[in-house]
Every structure is written in C-alpha cells, then in structure tokens.
Chain A
C-alpha cells in the first residue's frame, strides 16, 4: 500500500492497477448489496437482453475507485470526498480491468487532490470514467 503525503504528490502523477473480474467477486457483491437483478445474476436473461453473458455490476466496477484511492494514490492517507462516475460500456465476468488515476489538480487549502480516472478492459475500451476528489490526511 502506498503512503503518499500531500506534499509528495504531483500534478500529472499517475497510478494504475489491474484486476480480473471473477464469479466470486459477483457472488460477494450480491451478498453484500442484496442486488439480485437478473441482468447480473441470470445468464439466460442477460443473453436475452443482447449481452454475451451476465453483466458485471456497475458498482462493482466502481468499487475499484475505492482501491485506487485507498491503496495507490494517495493510499493509506486517503479520504474520499466525492466521486462523479459514468459507465461507458458493459463489463463481463472474466474481463481484465485496468484502473488508472491521473492527478489533475491539487488544492493546498484542504490538502485535496482531484483524480481523473479511467477504467479500461483488456481490449483497451474505456468502460468507466470518473472524477474523484480525495483528501490526503496528515
């Protein structure tokens, strides 16, 4: 886990990590949230809606933003204030997602950074984009 202090972070700095979405992740997410929507849980239903298989929960993909801030940039000293997010393309089980955060702004008054985030699948398609406002604790 990174432990960047506010002063050590620079505008333009990037951090990224890659994970593959598994069946277990989907089951765990359903258990935590209680979201039993068939698009995420019923293969036949998802296929009937034009997908090759069950669609990964958008908020599961979004949960990678928590990891980006809490583990990578700034890491241990992260305090997420705000997230604005868009889901550009569906994600499917087995997709490998690369989450990349770019430090776009720093605001000294509150030791705050603004991260521009993209999440891309193994084909390079952007499946999610977000802007995060993250405080950096002392």
Chain B
C-alpha cells in the first residue's frame, strides 16, 4: 500500500473520529492543528488505525509520533 493510499484511509478515520466531513489532513498535521485532538481522541485514533489496518502498535511507538506523516510511515512499516 502506498503512502497516499494509507493517507486516504487515515483521512477517513480522522473525519469519522472528529465527526467532520470537511477535515483535510496532511503529513504535517498534528494535535495543535485540530482543536478536539486531545489525549482521549488520540487513543480513539490509534485504536481505529489498528482496526482499519489490522495491526498492533506499542505505546512507545505511538508516543514518539510527531505528526500524521509519521503515523502513516509507522503504519507502512508494519504492513
């Protein structure tokens, strides 16, 4: 799966989690760009990614992520 294919699915997850069909995310998007992206929504995002892509993260990995691009790269490394 390419970076852009993963990004497309990740964007859909973000729109579902934040209940915003207009939300557009980029590699550089981080929690300071989305007002509702708090620690609980972060958990929901990570769990949703695990379910969507059928993979498991560990806590250290997800705590080190700085933005969406790094999240997509992490997903790609596990597929």
A109 with B57: CB separation less than 8 A? yes
Within 8 A of A (CB), among B35-79: 40, 43-44, 46-47, 50, 56-59, 62
Tell me what chain A mostly uses at the interface: helix, strand, loop, or mixed: strand
Chain A interface size band reads under 10
- Docked complex Cα distance between A112 and B47 (Å): 9
Interface string of A50-86 (1 = CB under 8 A from B): 0000000000000000000000000000000110000
Cβ of A108 within 8 Å of any chain B Cβ, yes or no, is: yes
Q: Contacts A81-B40, A82-B40 given; indicate if A110 touches B47 (C-beta within 8 A).
A: yes
Residues of A within 8 A of B (CB): 81-82, 107-110, 112, 133
Residues of B within 8 A of A (CB): 40, 43-44, 46-47, 50, 56-59, 62
Identify 13 residue pairs between A and B in the complex whose beta-carbon atoms are under 8 Å apart, listed by A's number: A81-B40, A81-B43, A82-B40, A107-B50, A108-B58, A109-B50, A109-B57, A109-B58, A109-B59, A110-B46, A110-B59, A133-B43, A133-B44
